[in-house]
Amino acid sequence: MENESAISALSALAQATRLDVFRLLVRHEPNGMAAGDIARQLDVPQNTMSAHLGILARAGLVRSERRSRSIIYCADLDGLRALTLFLVKDCCAGNAELCAPLVAELAPCC
């Protein structure tokens, strides 16, 4: 991941509604959710939700696919992985014990 991509992803997540959307979609993996369902669950107008989903998609954090008459949105876990790795790739400068608490915290969630 390049700096510009990371900045785009971090900027997309630096807004409360978009962060809530992304976390909601992560919880609904792998099935995803329709935009209307996301808007209702977060109590956000549908046109506003569409704008937020577009920003997340352009940042590489959300992907969409058509299923019948609905567009289903899913968290792009590859984008999340790339962003996370970009942020922590050189965190320990070769000292694995410095990153051990981070790894330990992430391991149980998966």
- Which CATH number belongs to the domain containing residue 40 in this structure? 1.10.10.10
Which two tokens mark 89?
A: 């790739």
Q: What is the pTM of this model?
A: 0.85
Confidence check: pLDDT of 57 > 90: yes
Assign 70 a pLDDT band (cuts: 50, 70, 90): confident
Assign 89 a pLDDT band (cuts: 50, 70, 90): confident
- Would you state the pLDDT for residue 109? 66
Range of the domain at 53: 3-109
Q: Residue 19: enclosing H or E segment and its boundaries?
A: helix 16-27
Residues counted in the chain: 110
The structural domain count of the chain equals 1
The whole-chain average pLDDT of the chain stands at 90
Lowest mean pLDDT among 28-32, 34-38, 81-85, 99-103: 99-103
- Would you state the pLDDT for residue 98? 76
